[in-house]
A and B are shown apart, each in its own frame.
Chain A
Amino acid sequence: MRVRSTRRMPAALVALVALSLVVAACAPAATQAPPAATEVQAPAATEAPAATEAMDPMAELVAAAQAEGMLTTIALPDDWCNYREVIDTFKAKYGLEVNELNPDAGSGDEIEAIKANMNNPGPQAPDVVDVGFSFGEANVDLFTPYKVATWDSIPDSAKDPDGIWYGDYYGVMAFLVNTDVQPEVPQDWADLLDPMYQGQVALSGDPRVSNQAIQAVYASGLANGGSLDNAQPGLDFFAQLNAGGSGNFIPVIANNGLVAKGETPVRITWDYNGLSAIDSFAGNPAAVLVVPASGRFGGVYVQAISAYAPHPNAAKLWMEFLYSDEGQILWMKGYCHPIREEDMRARGVIPADLLAKLPDVSGAVFPSNEQLAAAATLITGQWDTVVGANVQAAP
């Protein structure tokens, strides 16, 4: 009896495994058919409206959004660009619910979320995304175009001409310095090479994976003889900084805890991250943010509406809110430079105390998508060999 059952066992198992193989192979990974009825054509009136027409279409939009009742966002942490207040203000102003998905998602995760929910009208599908610059251009087929009322005051270099994606805010790569541990504050990239910073300078991510870290390396090149078209000097700079492992570069991923502890007293990060960190430290430790004197590198984030958004009108209303002066100023409170900053400065609508808090970032350069992609490929590919743990001291 036992013998029979053991002989049947492998057969049954093989059958089960075979079945699973077939099922797995058939699980579709290919592109989905376009969704049936979830796309609502944008009423013509809301596209690039003239200023005088803004009232009526806006009221229509508000009504349509309220009929939908909900907006689904993703990857918007409370402390990032003051999103907590942005979302709360939006909710209070229009009475919509905001379903916040996964605040710690990265840009890649946001795109994945759109792809994974293409046929899903439920609350898991994001309506709007806020992603890194290169993600906008790379995923145009996932977005639906929309031009907000204030479209013209968005700089051309920061938006897609057809309105598929549009820059929302930017930051400039800067140094967050714990002055309790390191009172000598570096003023520029070259200062970081000074021996007094031995083992004190850290990046905020892994340069082979994290956009923030990659752009930090890219930025350092600007002050080191490189340009937006040539990121190699950035790698060379970090090779020098690392000096084969005994230099100023400490290969741990810096976060605010480590800065406060004093383990990574000089953290290279976006200026808005640094400024909100200083707020959260509340004097313990004392810290300052320095935007390097040369090599000012701007990183732009972009907004887009998902082509498969379950609540397209709520999404459009959200965009109108974000790009209104009110929304842009709320971002400014989170230390992010809103994309319409120049226009708003010219019109004098920014409160003086806010203006005082934002660091001077004049002269910041913004790479194009092609330049970013090229730099990213170079840096992620070459990091290990040029800077990695096994490298000898650079000459």
Chain B
Amino acid sequence: MAPSAVPAPRVKRPTSGLRAWLGVVPFFLFAILFLILPSIKLFVGAFADNEGQFTFKNILQLFTEPSILNAYWLSIRISAVTAIGGGIFGFLLAYSVTIGGLPKALRTMLITFSGVASNFAGVPLAFAFVATLGRTGFVTALLKDVFHFSIYDTGFSLYSFAGLSFTYMYFQFPLMVLIMAPALDGLKREWREAAENLGASRTQYWLRVALPVLLPSILGSMILLFGNAFGAYATAYALTGGALPIVTIQIGAQIRGDVLHNPGLGYAMAMGMVFIMAVSLAGYSWLQGRTERWLR
């Protein structure tokens, strides 16, 4: 008898597949009650008009009414811009505190700050940016007093597409940092050293080794940033007063507004949003699958 033989582990394997599913029943129950059912309500509601009759009118309106199409296009544009911009700079930030060689304390500070900042939105965020870059904002005043440079004279306005995008970055950068920091950690040092041993320069290492490995993660995170911006509502509303008619504001107006009151249309627009998000999430999922290979 081998003295080092370990007794077989007593982990029981369920004999029938179904019993294993019992363990996740509470979660599924919760999900069905509070996630799936409301989603189905949304789905069903999109096909109802104000009297409760079944109709395709709401869905049709999505494709025929120019104001709605504009809203979608605007939402997509702002989400794309902030996803790409947020992705790039967020990546650079994450890089700087991981591989980039900054002290560990700074990394902790950035990561914890990102956790808070990624949820900072709505009226407080709008106000903070108005207080910074509005016409009476202190950066605006600083630039005018010290550098004699008036940003508003160049045609810049915080209450525009550019201004809103810039404000959105406040929760886009942190989200990117939070996702990319672990991914950058996953870049094994051995690869870097192996590349150097084989004579690669820094640029070649990045172009040929690191970025290809990271690319699925980066792209996937950008898609998440896209979704994040696409679903944002309170910040845009507060900052632009509805002058930029993005989809979420339109939905809010239909469902909650005191005047325009066509919830069916609101639900239909939400379905359109869900479709767009689902497509982007599918992309994210697929890209995640590609990444996990390297980061295990």
Question: Which positions in A face B, CB cutoff 8 Å?
Answer: 1-2, 4-6, 8-9, 12, 16-17, 20-21, 23-25, 27, 29-30, 106-108, 132, 135, 181, 199, 202-203, 205-211, 214, 245, 250-253, 255, 257-258, 261-263, 376-377, 380, 384, 388-389
With contacts A181-B136, A263-B136 taken as known, whether A9 is within 8 angstroms of B241 at the C-beta atoms is no
Given A108-B256, A258-B127, A388:B243 Cβ within 8 A: yes
Closest to A376 in B: B259
Shortest CB distance A100–B (Å): 21
**Interface 9-mer from B177-185, B232-240, B277-285:** B232-240
Q: Return the 6 tightest CB-CB contacts between A and B, nearest first.
A: A5-B17, A206-B242, A251-B243, A209-B257, A253-B241, A262-B136
Residue of B nearest to A263 (CB): B134
The complex places the Cα of A210 from the Cα of B37 at a distance, in Å, of 30
The answer to whether B40 has its CB under 8 Å from any CB of chain A is yes
B241 is contacted by which of A17, A30, A202 (Cβ under 8 Å)? A202
Closest chain-A Cβ to B51's Cβ sits at a distance in Å of 10
11 more contacts with CB within 8 A, not counting A12-B21, A261-B136, are: A4-B17, A23-B37, A24-B40, A106-B258, A132-B258, A202-B241, A208-B257, A261-B134, A380-B257, A380-B259, A389-B244
User: Measuring CB to CB, which residues of chain B are less than 8 angstroms from any residue of chain A?
Assistant: 13, 16-18, 20-21, 28, 32, 36-37, 40-41, 44, 52, 67, 123, 126-127, 130-131, 134-137, 152, 157, 159-160, 237-245, 249, 252-253, 256-261
Given A251-B159, A263-B136: A5 touches B258 (CB 8 Å cut-off) = no
Q: Please indicate the chain B residues that have their CB under 8 angstroms from the CB of A2 in the complex.
A: 17
Closest chain-A Cβ to B45's Cβ sits at a distance in Å of 9
> How far, in angstroms, from A380 to B254 measured CA to CA in the complex?
11
20 contacts between A and B (CB under 8 A): A1-B13, A4-B16, A5-B16, A5-B17, A12-B18, A17-B36, A20-B32, A20-B37, A23-B37, A30-B52, A108-B256, A108-B258, A181-B136, A206-B249, A207-B242, A208-B260, A253-B237, A257-B127, A384-B245, A389-B243
Distance in Å from the Cβ of B41 to the closest Cβ of chain A? 5
Please measure, in the bound complex, the distance between the C-alpha atom of A250 and the C-alpha atom of B243, giving whole angstroms.
10
- In the complex, A252→B130 CA distance in Å? 10
Given the known inter-chain contacts A20-B36, A27-B41, A107-B258, please indicate yes or no for A253 contacting B130, CB distance below 8 A.
no
How near does chain A come to B173, taking the closest CB pair, in angstroms? 23
Q: With A206-B237, A206-B241 as given contacts, are A29 and B52 in contact (CB-CB < 8 Å)?
A: yes
Asked whether, in the complex, the Cβ of B243 is within 8 Å of the Cβ of A210, the reply is no
- A residues near B245, Cβ cutoff 8 Å: 384, 388
Contacts of B44 in A (CB 8 A): 24-25
> Does A209 contact B40, Cβ atoms closer than 8 Å?
no
> What residues of chain A lie closer than 8 Å to B123, measured between beta carbons?
255
| Chain A residues with CB under 8 A of B20 | 5
Shortest B255–chain A CB gap in Å is 10
Q: Is B131 within 8 A of A261, CB to CB?
A: yes
Are A199 and B260 touching (Cβ within 8 A)? no
